[in-house]
Structure 1
Amino acid sequence: MKRYDVIIIGSGSAASQAANILRDAGKEIAIVENWTFGGTCPQRGCDPKKMLAEGAELVARVDQIKTLGVNGEITLDWATFKRRVDEYRFAVPTTKTHNWREHGIDLFEGEPHFIDEDSIVINGHEISAHHFIIATGLIPRPLDIPGGEHAITSDDVFDLASLPAHVSIVGAGYIAFEFAHILRRFGCDVTLLVRSRALKAFDRNVVKRLIDETERIGIDVRYGVEPSALDGDVLTLSDDSTLHGLVLNASGRIPSIERLHLEAAGVRADHDGIRVNAYLQTSNPNIYAAGDVSASDNPPLTPFAGQEGRIAALNLLRGNTRPFPERPAPTVVFTSPPIAKVGLTVEEAKANGIDFECKDIDLSHFLTYERIHDETAFSRVLLSRDGHVLGAHLIGQHAPELINLFSFIIQNNMTHQHVKHLQFAYPTSASDLSFLL
């Protein structure tokens, strides 16, 4: 049985960043993956989804500016988009494994599980290590209804050779809304089933504007209903109505830990993931957890996963010297139009007893948005009484880039007076920034 310095379970963003640091420190490493090497984001998540969203955004932009003199129609060809997406995502495992092997990292492909505090088994092969980093991420939550196993997940969308006439999407989060907009723009009829509140982490005013636009483009948004059974292509709902066609389960994701046998390693976990301390160390001091699988306070977003992987590796090497820094988490829903947020919502600020001013602006009359006929554009900014940004919430074509500027402002503790003295190229969305504070 071979013994390593560190075994990393998983091969996504957190695992990759950890491996880079440990390799540079001269550690003998093995990486174990139960699917294909490279992780969710580049193969069945953020990256290929954004490539499809580019097409949806183009259709949306053309639709917006028809009144400004643009004539004709454009359509999206699924087969051509899929071919380009496949070229990208199928290259990921080859690139990753080639790089790791070149740097002397051993790779194991198969379903691992712990047999004691320092040993795992993969397909009957046993290996051990002084330390472990668990970075297995999240997997789709099963659709717990009769026949629910026949629904597809967001992982499967990229494998569809052609698109169906109708898709029912179960869920009300990022994945549900993004694929609703993508599939609608690719020509599908879409029904979006929202059990309670849509996009709970986002500002309600912004979400309301997104839902208005979602319905305007022909997506049937149904509230207060749940799927109760799936038989073939017939989905029965809790109100006894039925829908026909493909069912996409976008009801959420759960930690990928069920088959790890964590109890054998003395690692505590619950429905939120693997329990960790401020240094990403688990209840077994020789085992760390990083990325989406860890029950840290960070959102399940790729940049945070990568940062957690780096910090876990550094703490493993240096003896817990680096707690995870508290930083704002800018996040975007890549619908058409996109919405974005960073920092506190109004509800969160009130719940924490924070004294704040809320500045709401309809941006559709700003030249930045009027010139592209973006009638959805809106900003809500929360300011402390001394002028610091507590939170920013946006909808509109430029929201993804603007939210990065707001994140920079918060991270650097800038006040609205600092921002008003900055110079930006004009006319750009950044040049509007000082008016939003």
Structure 2
Amino acid sequence: MSDTFDLVVIGAGMAGIAAANKCAAQGWQVGIVDELPYGGTCALRGCDPKKILRRGAEVIDAAQLMNGTGIDQNGMTLDWPALMARKRGFTDHVPKRMENELTGNGVTTFHGHAEFTGTNELTIDGTAHRSDRFLIASGATPRTLDFRGAGNLIDSTGFLDLDQLPQKIVFIGGGFVSFEFAHIAARAGADCVIIDRGSRPLRQFDPDLVELLISRTEQAGIRVLRNTTVTGVEATPAGYRVDIDTTGSTGSIDTGLVVHGAGRVPNLASLHLDAAGIASGARGVAVAAHLQSTTNPAVYAAGDAADTPGHPLTPVAVFEGKVAASNMIKGTTTTPDYTGVPTTVFTIPELNRVGLLEHEAVGNGHDIAVHFTDTSHWYSTYRVAETTAAAKIIIDTASDQILGAHLLGPDYSELINTFGLAIKLGLTTRQLKSATATYPSLGSDLGSLL
């Protein structure tokens, strides 16, 4: 056995790095390991690079919307290789920067495959290590698909590293990945199709706003196929043929690329959790509310690898990592606070949610007032020539507090943060209306939405 640690963190994403630095600051001997470059999905293969690419799509879309109103969009195109080079200008520097921060804080860094060999033991590429505690923060990985030719698909990591963008792309799955990437690719000139096996994509979001987004998606030239199952993907001389079944009617789509956007699962399969007596399920490592394993007290879990009530979001992973670290340091059982955490689908325009959906609020026994507003003709929307925008605010009539806020519109991902803060602090609509915002800003619309 080579060494003994106070804590070994598995996964050098945002949750793992936050916990490792926090515990090292207390003088602990901390190790962290990852098979992939340090930084995790968000910084390297997800949120951050995606939004850099989206900026190019935003500019193209903005020019299209303003065409004929003082802007001439003729000749404006998106140079995909140049945009990808800009993305790499950010992502290429992340791993070294993250590792330097860790080592500077006294954390021992490892690169390799980790798997448990006992209650307090693991190996990293065959070398044994012992630790008093472990934090599993290994994130998530694309869900395994079982149709014929599933191996022909690329995942989100592959899409975000494409040197050239094919002319035709099929996205399988009706969630974040498919919609966000299709909105980027379509503005870059690709012919995009989203295939969803259900009747309503983006099921975590308000159904009325989702329908508005789908209409806007189709206006952008993206086909959305619902109630459609992929039965096979076959390589052809020109690319791929995607065989589909739509409520009993079969067909096929010829395309240059097929992208996996059908969900992710906790990345635990190769860790040999059974060797350490760590229980897990489809949603991740089984943990108590304070993030400690229900079956091995030496183990904690955070982020997408943990079965917690939190959404699979980077900010959630970060505060779970910090809470887990604090509980390990202090021997406490503090639970993360998931109140008022917003989430966004970064399409163009973007779809946002914080708090409860209508049916959830009613199901929880609240007497509610629902304020739905079509904001497509409001000044803030008119200014940027967007055609689709709306808001739905769910208010508890007894307390006057906001239970849920659902926004679709340009830059509404900024406005949703105010609603998130209001829900977290229990502010009433009367208190929100009493605030005076700078004008004309998107934030100045808030009072009128209530």
> For residue 242 of structure 1, what is the aligned residue in structure 2?
252
Structure 2 contact 17–102 (Cα < 8 Å) conserved: no
Determine the C-alpha separation between the residues in 2 that align with 1:157 and 1:108. 27
Match of 1:270 among 281, 289, 305: 281
- Residue 351 of structure 1: CA displacement? 2.1
Secondary structure, aligned partner of 2:186: helix
> For residue 429 of structure 2, what is the aligned residue in structure 1?
416
> For residue 281 of structure 1, what is the aligned residue in structure 2?
292
- Residue 284 of structure 1: CA displacement? 0.6
Secondary structure, aligned partner of 1:237: strand
Q: Percent identity?
A: 36
The residue correspondences of 1:9-408 to structure 2 (distance < 5 A) are: 9-73=10-74, 74-196=76-198, 197-232=200-235, 233-238=240-245, 239-245=249-255, 246-282=257-293, 283-385=295-397, 386-408=399-421
CA deviation profile, 1:150-174 (whole Å, cap 9, x unmatched): 2000110122111111101001111
Unaligned runs of 5+ in 2: none
Structure 1 contact 165–188 (Cα < 8 Å) conserved: yes
Secondary structure, aligned partner of 1:380: strand
Secondary structure, aligned partner of 2:57: helix
**Deviating more after overlay: 51-60 vs 309-318:** 51-60
Secondary structure, aligned partner of 1:435: helix
TM-score computed with the length of structure 2 as normaliser: 0.95
Determine the C-alpha separation between the residues in 2 that align with 1:327 and 1:419. 18
- Residue 140 of structure 1: CA displacement? 0.8
* Amino acid of the structure 2 residue aligned with 1:307: F
Secondary structure, aligned partner of 1:316: helix
RMSD in angstroms over aligned alpha carbons?
Answer: 1.1
* Amino acid of the structure 2 residue aligned with 1:250: G
Secondary structure, aligned partner of 1:414: coil
Secondary structure, aligned partner of 2:228: coil
CA deviation profile, 1:388-423 (whole Å, cap 9, x unmatched): 111111111031011001111111211111111111
Determine the C-alpha separation between the residues in 2 that align with 1:358 and 1:115. 54
Equivalent residue pairs, number: 437
CA deviation profile, 1:257-293 (whole Å, cap 9, x unmatched): 0010101111110111111111100021110001111
- Residue 63 of structure 1: CA displacement? 1.6
- Residue 212 of structure 1: CA displacement? 0.2
Determine the C-alpha separation between the residues in 2 that align with 1:311 and 1:225. 41
Structure 1 contact 364–373 (Cα < 8 Å) conserved: no
> For residue 434 of structure 1, what is the aligned residue in structure 2?
447
Structure 1 contact 10–39 (Cα < 8 Å) conserved: yes
CA deviation profile, 1:334-371 (whole Å, cap 9, x unmatched): 00011111011112112222210000111122211122
Secondary structure, aligned partner of 1:227: strand
Secondary structure, aligned partner of 1:381: strand
Cα pair distance change 1:127/1:42, threshold 3 Å:
same
Determine the C-alpha separation between the residues in 1 that align with 2:67 and 2:409. 17
- Residue 67 of structure 1: CA displacement? 4.2
Determine the C-alpha separation between the residues in 1 that align with 2:333 and 2:192. 50
Determine the C-alpha separation between the residues in 2 that align with 1:42 and 1:364. 33
CA deviation profile, 1:118-138 (whole Å, cap 9, x unmatched): 111111111110000000000
The answer to whether structure 1 residue 7 and structure 2 residue 8 are counterparts is: yes
- Residue 93 of structure 1: CA displacement? 1.0
- Residue 236 of structure 1: CA displacement? 1.1
Secondary structure, aligned partner of 1:431: helix
- Residue 142 of structure 1: CA displacement? 2.1
CA deviation profile, 1:287-322 (whole Å, cap 9, x unmatched): 000111100000000001000000000101111241
